[in-house]
Structure 1
């Protein structure tokens, strides 16, 4: 098996792109196959090197390594060879209509209740007609002549898919400026780079019908296809309206764990429950394209935050220590891990335990009394219980009235890990100063 992920470097990757990238990778790794990264940059007007670099950075962040890379702008000569073959066989023909003329034809067809299919008017041109157009300064675009036959394939997601060539318009393969379009370059690459399976969005279904004939015309084997429904937002609307906040770059900068996004997208739209998974290999082992349905999956960023917390709660210290401060140890990690939503939250608890805190004092007399009753070190998890038991007896306080003033003084916050765990990490010197109202 060989699959490919073929982004165009015309912008940043977003979650809608990341899903087919991930699923292709998982499918290949499950089968022991290869994952090809193909940069579809034939649109020279919009393609940018910085976007190509950003795509690679995003894939590396997700952990999606590639076995092979191809860049379409390096393969332009191969598309010329393929186009010449199609021209020689009468399957690629020149057309001279302007965009305005094509727009008028489309409008007339729609008004007459006909589908806006190209009328093949260019096939009726004589050599004299073509010479006249070229003398006017027109340069042709080139269309692929479809055979008016049945086109069928068994889709791994959609099941049996059927088109008829007569119901499709002859696609443009070569622009007026001689640049190849996606339909041609993609098929040439899939043939020559031995791609066996193509998993992509359902917006390509009609393209697939055309490309199946193109594979045959160029003498290539037709790959196995799988077309997934496009992701919607949480309300069912188009995800494209929110792409700015859902680019992989923005998600990475927000502190999201890469395996959170992998865990979410690997199961989104399938019959499998979305669960926190910390290793890509585990996702690959359980991947099955047959479990994905034709229903539109909904992407909810709030679910990502919840899943991110669950991922962090599973991570051991060794897997995160390179991203934490040098004096952050496994004891502190295990203490604060259950209260983290993003890894960046760990800094707050590090500062509470190892740094300086401005205490919040609600009752200075009570916290002063607590400071005076602090036992000598060493401390352990029983220290907090012993302290509060003594304070309860001496003050008559209990419940929130007992615990909250102490928490606010010791941490500056009204929430967090259990103080029986935090207090030994804070230590007697800091605890005493904070209970007295001093920043420490």
Structure 2
């Protein structure tokens, strides 16, 4: 027997894409992303060239920690916990469902559980089909692991699982400052592993409550924005109020557990990014624009050249894996201490028309006390971000003119130099 509520769900007409905060604006038709067209998936098929394809499938990290941090860099994939979490069978839903008398109480409970399991912050959003991967990319058994049969549409998935749970995991601040180094790699990769474990445990917990779960079906960024976890910066990363951009997003959990959605937040990212440009000026591949916003897939936001960023990896893999320069230099990425809280709240609580009076002095202070590059020598375990370990185990002598981030050197004047060259030719 079909209830009236179920009939209404089947006949539902989806409202326009919900408000996601001031950092992005929907100005046209938003088409669901095809998961097959995301960078890693294109690379798996060899569409991005041999160097990247070889880097993805045939590399073994020189760092033993790197070999267990990500399965693709290991000598034996079974040594990386990622392989076991990703390949673990999905559990069944407990037939003895826990009734939810008050969704607000359950929402607070789920957030506490998620944080206990390792999440740094948690948000809830009402699912919209536009935020799900294009239909036909996952089966309708709630596992979201892909397969040849049982495919369902994004609309049907959104009806079955009306709530999305988004978590972030903040990696270590000091380790993250050693960007473009094995130290930064360890912070990044093991942060991803921690969040993957958190999501797996949280999904199992919800099934034990008697409710369905779908994973790997939603695009993380719009869900995180709608769930109030942060705003999107010029560098295309989520910037959170407490941790800045040093967070992992991971794949949100979709569920039919009754919850109460959160609202998008405003911490002044839209206003600060207009005047900052630190990430764009220090990006070693010029992948971040210094110009204004453009329209991508119906959304007005800063354009990122993901391909130039991604293509760097095979050429530096003997030194480090993940760049993270844009995250490390972002003024919002600071330790979670009282003066950072005061700075963020001073922007947040300033009326929007007057924020320019606050953001420019804040940018000057950040440049003055933290530097335009945010350069910091970090020592961790046997690693030293000021020294380069060579393949034979010896250590390369210090070269101050190179900075600490061999083999690339940031050059904040390269745009000025380009302008000077163009001017001289005129």
TM range, normalised to the smaller chain?
Answer: under 0.3
Which structure has greater helix proportion?
1
| TM-score (structure 2 length as normaliser) | 0.28
The higher relative CO (CA closer than 8 Å, separation ≥ 6) is in 2
| TM-score (structure 1 length as normaliser) | 0.27
